[in-house]
Structure formats: structure tokens, C-alpha cells
Amino acid sequence: MSENSKEASVLIVDDTEPNVRLLAHVVKKEGYEVMAAFSGGDALSLIEKRKPDIILLDVMMPEMNGFEVCEYLKDHEQYKDIPVIFLSALSETDSKVQGFNVGGVDYITKPFQREEVLARIDLHVKLKKLQAELSNKVEQLKQREESLEKLNAEKDELMRIVGHDFRNPVTGIMGLAGFLEDNIENIDVAEQSDILGIIKGSGQKLLNLVNGLLNKEEKASISELILQELDLKTTILDIIDLHRPTAVNKGITIEKELQEMSKKTVDKHKLEQILSNLLSNALKFTLKGGTICVRLREVEDSNGAIDLTVEDSGMGIPKEQLEDLWDSGEKKIRYGTSGEKGSGMGLELVRKFTNLHGGDVTVDSVEGEGTTFTVRLYDQKMNVASNVT
């Protein structure tokens, strides 16, 4: 017998006690652990308490014969993997075929040969062990496949977000460069310096994005918050400045109503993306001479809630598209007032990043009159303190 088989347990089921004693002696002598039952019913009761590694099962038994016992086992998920070897005086081919049809793995006729019984037991114990190892390997491969699919999905999401993140700074740089080129003679040195500062800031944002791609921790932060205390008013004004060239080129006025407040603990990058995407969206769909208003206010008695609102006097969103605005499926492409392409991905990110802060986004839009997006974020310092208490 194989060394690998010695720890196996064998259940012997036969209604004739001398047969059980003889088989038990032969099997135990080879190092197997022996269990015994003298009827089909007793065997099932024993199996419910402890599963054997293999069963030697007599066919001709009263009340419940061996074929019926085997059928029962194969019909129950928790027992169907136990190998069953029939031992019977029935040597007809029909009996052997029936044994295999009900799920037996082998059939030995009585009177049995000691060496044959031991060889069959050893073979099927090995096969069971190999099957278990194979199933384990398959499960491991399945888990690895799922893990790779998840990583691939995260990579795709990262590329989508980074691609979208690149667009706004690049647009700002190109817009400001064009603005300088067209108006260089009419711009004083102080304003030129301000514009160059904004261009430098946009370039720094691009560099940060590149560094983030090379930084594993930054990659992991797409679905996590990296918190810091911020002066929200200053951060919002910086983002508005990045979009100022586009507004100037389209003849759109950006108004600000920003409430003074203490610093709040949020994810700076995600807050910047939320506002940047909302502003970009508003600028796309607002006509020349239109107005965009950015508002910031604290919500009273709200455990640190802040409302950030972007309201525009633009084209508005058609009712049928408004209903599917947050649907993650494929969206209909919309074109802005100057032919800009809108895929809806920016709004997906707005909602994703807002939800990470425990907040939500609401939208109110009338086609032909304009759209208002309101983002409610929560001061994470207040939120954590509330959860602790």
C-alpha cells in the first residue's frame, strides 16, 4: 500500500458479521482506519457523523441494498465524492453495470482476493486524493483569474480616470497659451505673470498625474480617500482659475459665492476633480454670453456637510437623458456649444468621488434654461469622530 494512503479511513458495510470482521482484519493490517456498519441505514447514519475516505459496500442487504445506499450518497452534494467499491456474490454483468450506473467506482466479486481488495482500495484512495488536489488547483486558478480580471478592470478604470484627468490641465494650458498669443500686446506684465503661474500650476498637475501612475500607493487611491485639511475656498479658486481661459474664449462669466469657513478634511485631488469636471461640463454646454455660478456653503446641523454647487445658464439636459445620467452603461454622446464632445464620464467620476466622501450629487435641469449640480460632501474629520462616538 502507498504511504500516502495509510491515513485513509475505510467504511465496511455488510449485513454478515463474519464478512465485516474478515475485511476489517485485512484492511486494518495494511494501516487503514476501519469503520463498520451492518446495514444500509446504519451506514448512512455513520456517514452523517463522519465521512469515510472510501466505502466497501455489500449489494445484497435487507431493507436498503447497496445500490440504494450508493444512489442516496450520489444524490447528496456532501457525500457524492466518496468512492464506493461494491463487494458482492452477484457476478452477472447486469449487476456490475448497475453498480457503475448508480455511481460506484469499482466492483469486486465474492469470494474476494485479499491482494485485489487492497490494490483497489489503494488505487481509489490515490485517485480521490489526486481529484481533491486537482479541484484545489482549479479553485486556485479560478481565484487567480478573478483576481486578474479585477486588476484588469481596475487598470482600465485607472486609465479612464487618468485620461480624463489629463484633459483638463492640457485644455487649461492650451487655452491660456492661445489667450496670451492673441492678446499679448494688451496684457500688462502683472496679468502675464498670473497667467504663467496658472500654466505652471497646470503643468505641475500633469507631472503629479505621471508620478501617480508610477506610484503604487497612488494607484490604490482611486477607490480610497487620501485625506488632508484644506482651505476649500482657496482650492476652489485655484480650479476656477484653471478654467478661466476656456471661459474667456467662449465669452462666459464665472461667478463665485464662496462662504468663509474653517478648514475641512477631504481628499484634495478628488475634490479638485469633482469641481473641475462640473466646471468643464458647464463650460461645454453654455453659450457665449452665458453665466456659470460656483457656490460653497456649510450645511447647518449636518455633521460637517458642505454643499458645492455649479449652476449654469446653458443648454440644459434633455429629460430622457437626465433619467439615465448616472447609469454606468454606454451613454449617448452630446456635443457642446462649440462642438466639444461630452461622454458623460466626468459626471461618473463626480458621483464616484462624492460617494467616497459619504455624500451624493443632485441635479436640476431644464432644457434650454440651464443645469444645477449640487455636491454634498462631508468633513471626514467630523465623520470619523461621529463614527467613533
Neighbours of 38 (CB within 10 A): 17
Segments forming the whole domain that contains residue 64:
3-112
For the chain, the average pLDDT equals: 85
Question: DSSP string covering 102-118, please?
Answer: TT-SEEEESSPPHHHHH
Average pLDDT of the residues in 318-333: 70
* Best CA proximity match to 108, nearest among 53, 32, 100: 100
Average pLDDT of the residues in 155-172: 69
- pLDDT at residue 303, rounded to an integer: 77
- Tell me the torsion sign for CA atoms 44, 50, 51, 53: negative
H/E stretch holding 281: helix 268-284
Kindly state whether residues 94 and 242 are assigned to the same domain.
no
Average pLDDT of the residues in 110-114: 89
- pLDDT at residue 4, rounded to an integer: 44
Greater pLDDT, 111 or 388 = 111
What does DSSP assign to residue 168?
H
> What CATH number is attached to the domain comprising 268?
3.30.565.10
Whose cell is 486558478? That residue is: 141
Total domains in the fold of the chain:
2
What does DSSP assign to residue 16?
-
Is 219 among the domain residues? Answer: no
Interval 73-83: pLDDT, tens: 999 999 999 99
Is 35 among the domain residues? Answer: yes
Is 284 among the domain residues? Answer: yes
- pLDDT at residue 190, rounded to an integer: 85
* Best CA proximity match to 158, nearest among 92, 252, 224: 224
CA angle 253, 256, 259 (to 5 degrees): 175
Is 174 among the domain residues? Answer: no
Is 278 among the domain residues? Answer: yes
Q: Final residue of a domain: which of 94, 112, 130?
A: 112
| Confidence band for 10, pLDDT divided at 50, 70 and 90 | very high
Residue 171: phi and psi, rounded to 5, are -60, -40
- pLDDT at residue 341, rounded to an integer: 57
111 cis-preceded (ω within 30 degrees of 0):
yes
| Confidence band for 168, pLDDT divided at 50, 70 and 90 | low
- The full length of the chain comes to 389
CB under 8 A, 24+ apart: contacts of 100-103: 102/67, 102/70, 102/71, 102/74, 103/70, 103/71, 103/73, 103/74
What does DSSP assign to residue 299?
P
Kindly state whether residues 90 and 237 are assigned to the same domain.
no
Asked whether the predicted pLDDT for residue 1 surpasses 60, the reply is no
Q: How far apart are CA 349 and CA 343, in angstroms?
A: 12
Kindly state whether residues 99 and 230 are assigned to the same domain.
no
Kindly state whether residues 236 and 376 are assigned to the same domain.
yes
Neighbours of 182 (CB within 10 A): 11
Q: Final residue of a domain: which of 112, 138, 157?
A: 112
Q: Final residue of a domain: which of 57, 82, 112?
A: 112
Kindly state whether residues 375 and 238 are assigned to the same domain.
yes
Whether the CB-CB separation of 380 and 307 falls below 8 Å is answered with no
Is 177 among the domain residues? Answer: no
* Best CA proximity match to 162, nearest among 198, 213, 204, 211: 213
Is 154 among the domain residues? Answer: no
> pTM here?
0.56
- pLDDT at residue 43, rounded to an integer: 96
Is 141 among the domain residues? Answer: no
| Confidence band for 213, pLDDT divided at 50, 70 and 90 | low
Q: How far apart are CA 124 and CA 112, in angstroms?
A: 17
> What CATH number is attached to the domain comprising 36?
3.40.50.2300
Greater pLDDT, 271 or 383 = 271
Beta bridge mates, 309: 295, 374
Lowest mean pLDDT among 166-180, 249-263, 273-287: 166-180
Greater pLDDT, 155 or 186 = 186
H/E stretch holding 73: helix 66-74
Kindly state whether residues 231 and 104 are assigned to the same domain.
no
Q: How far apart are CA 291 and CA 283, in angstroms?
A: 9
CA angle 267, 385, 224 (to 5 degrees): 30
**Nine-digit cell string for 166:** 489629463
Whether the CB-CB separation of 315 and 285 falls below 8 Å is answered with yes
Q: How far apart are CA 271 and CA 350, in angstroms?
A: 9
Residue 343 burial (CB < 10 Å; 0-12/13-18/19+)?
middle
Residue type, 345: M
Q: Which residues of 57-95 are buried (b: 16+ CB within 10 A; e: fewer)?
A: bbbebeebbbbebbebbbeeeebeebbbbbbbebeeeeb
Interval 33-71: pLDDT, tens: 999 999 999 999 999 999 999 999 999 999 999 999 999
Asked whether the predicted pLDDT for residue 32 surpasses 70, the reply is yes
